[in-house]
Amino acid sequence: MHIPDGILPAQVCAAGYAITGLTTWYSLRQINRKPDPTAEIPKASLLTAAFFVASSIYIPVPPASVHLILNGLLGVVLGYFAFPAILIGLFFQALVIGHGGLTTLGVNAAMMGIPALLAYHIFQLRHVLGKPLPEPARTGLFAFLGGAVGLGLAALIFLALIIFNIPAELNAEAERAAVLALSVGHVPLAIVEGVFTAMLVLFLQRVKPELLEG
């Protein structure tokens, strides 16, 4: 679900960099409001590495194959650290393993990072909407929603960007069918990532609850 170089027009790539720059600034501003902004850097570094490695694990979902993203997981566990972590991970993915591109780095970061921030806020809703549920049910439920929604929203943004920016020299109908099939393939992956996020969060809550953002 990485958009490579040469697919999107220059103005879309420029807009992606503008949105990513603004969101990075906002995320860093929120991080600097913490009593000790550097305390969570080791945790963010570890999950940035996990985000980087996840792209090399392919899961066959006929008629295509998909790979783990973990942007929802990063949002749930890292909070506002998630956006710069995803940006750094995408940069090295483009350089080292050729996923995505440098011209589309801003678009890819916004596509995956903004849903990660939304996943963080969904997870925080457990303190309000999850009150009727017992622990750990509410934590597991909202962690699942954060993980699934993070990936699902990123897939929808990917679908919209590609469909509305198909190059004129390509067969539009064939490209739409291929992109739609790829997007549908991310539905079971969203469930997998939601379950994985819930399992990890419940484990952290049991052994190291201070690692959970908020």
What integer pLDDT is reported at residue 83 of this predicted model? 97
Cis, bond preceding 132 (omega within 30 deg of 0): no
What integer pLDDT is reported at residue 128 of this predicted model? 86
pTM above 0.85, yes or no: yes
Please provide the average confidence, as pLDDT, over all residues in the chain. Answer: 86
CB 119 within 8 A of CB 71: yes
CB 122 within 8 A of CB 149: yes
Model confidence pLDDT, tens digit, residues 10-62: 999 999 999 999 999 999 999 999 888 888 899 999 999 988 888 767 665 55
Spatial neighbors of 37 by CB under 8 A, at least 6 apart, are: 31
Torsion-angle region of 100 (φ positive above 0: left; ψ -120 to 50: alpha; else: beta): left
Q: Domain 10-211 is in which class?
A: mainly alpha
**Coil, strand or helix: which one is 83?**
helix
Other CB atoms within 10 A of residue 74 CB? 32
What integer pLDDT is reported at residue 189 of this predicted model? 84
Residue 181 vs residues 70, 81, 163: alpha-carbon distances, Å? 21, 32, 12
